[in-house]
A and B are shown apart, each in its own frame.
Chain A
């Protein structure tokens, strides 16, 4: 184990973190990950794809407390969840959502910038973020499946 702590940044310097955008999978990759070997055709509603092997992949988005998430839900021909894959996860902070004039830049130089820590905010340790928003999203997608996709 090796830990190189940062020296305390001068208090006068305000670090403003840029929003961190993480793209994990394209829609096509997510489709293949959930239904390997199948081919897909658009199934009517935007973001809904039918798998040749039966079942659907639905692309949806949710806005959480600090995060904006695009994800894919795979639904089997029986209407059960086959898999959930996150396509994009964007750290979006409250003030960024509120202020249109968001500047995705850091101000000033600090101990941090010498270590190039500001280049990419990817690994965030913090008290656990709840994934409740995505759970709610999946529930909504399943309700949509029941009402408009099932048996088509």
Chain B
């Protein structure tokens, strides 16, 4: 059974097998609800979200957030530290300057990095400087992981979820995966077979670089930067690192149990580490 809904500002598809139809329907509906919960908590656009409250207030006082938001923030910190700051969710300021994110009520925000985030007891968070966080590079992957966990809780053993290009599969089946380069004519290229894992893809135009001279060059770069990883959160987050380094064979990815590949828009070949 396959269902699709517009969520997270994109299209989310959930496919699950192996149970009777009513049970599958319930499982898929519950999985969509988990995605919806992540959206409500971590949307930059929704003024009521945990994330918006953090961005408005955490520079001045501790802000209590949902345990899911705290989890994603902690994972963001772990990956920020492990990648020497290349994966940095404190890019709200830059994204607002580019006009990608709305600046409402965020006049106070200045550029900074995730190192300003302080974790306090009881899921409270403070910022040491006036940064703004955008979880766009990690929350989508997290929502896919949560939705997979919900399906598993309902007894589903065979499933595939695609949230706007962030994909995770469980079960024995190897799923063919295609990769679409940004812009281009939109033609997807075959990349490989994925079993019990996740893949996410990003582009130069949607990544704020933390390097003086990013390997990906300008926003005119139309390559697709993909990471295959055990979880979708990891895959999602590490694509931002790959865009900046352009180095598929970096031992960084192996340390996370991940594989990197770059699909070039001007050729049919993908190179894999």
Spell out A's residues near B (CB within 8 Å). Answer: 1-6, 8-9, 11, 13-17, 22, 24-25, 33, 65-67, 71, 84-86, 89, 91, 93-95, 110, 112, 115-132, 134-135
Contacts and interface: CB of A to CB of B under 8 A. Distances in A.
Contacts of A91: 186, 188
Contacts of A1: 195-198, 228-230, 257
B6 A135 contact: yes
Nearest to B29: A33
Given A94-B186, A112-B190, A3 B197 contact: yes
Interface string B194-210: 11111111110110000
Interface residues of B, number: 62
A123 B177 contact: yes
A3 B190 contact: no
Nearest to A11: B267
B128 interface: no
Given A2-B194, A131-B11, A124 B188 contact: yes
A141 B187 CA distance: 31
Given A4-B193, A15-B190, A15-B268, A123 B10 contact: no
B96 interface: no
Interface of B: 2-7, 9-11, 13, 25, 140, 160, 162, 164-167, 174-182, 185-203, 205-206, 224, 226, 228-230, 257, 259, 261, 267-272
A47 B272 CA distance: 47
B183 to A, nearest CB: 9
B109 to A, nearest CB: 23
Contact of B6 (A2, A4, A84): A84
B6 A86 contact: yes
Nearest to A128: B164
Contact of A126 (B2, B180, B195, B230): B180
A17 B184 CA distance: 13
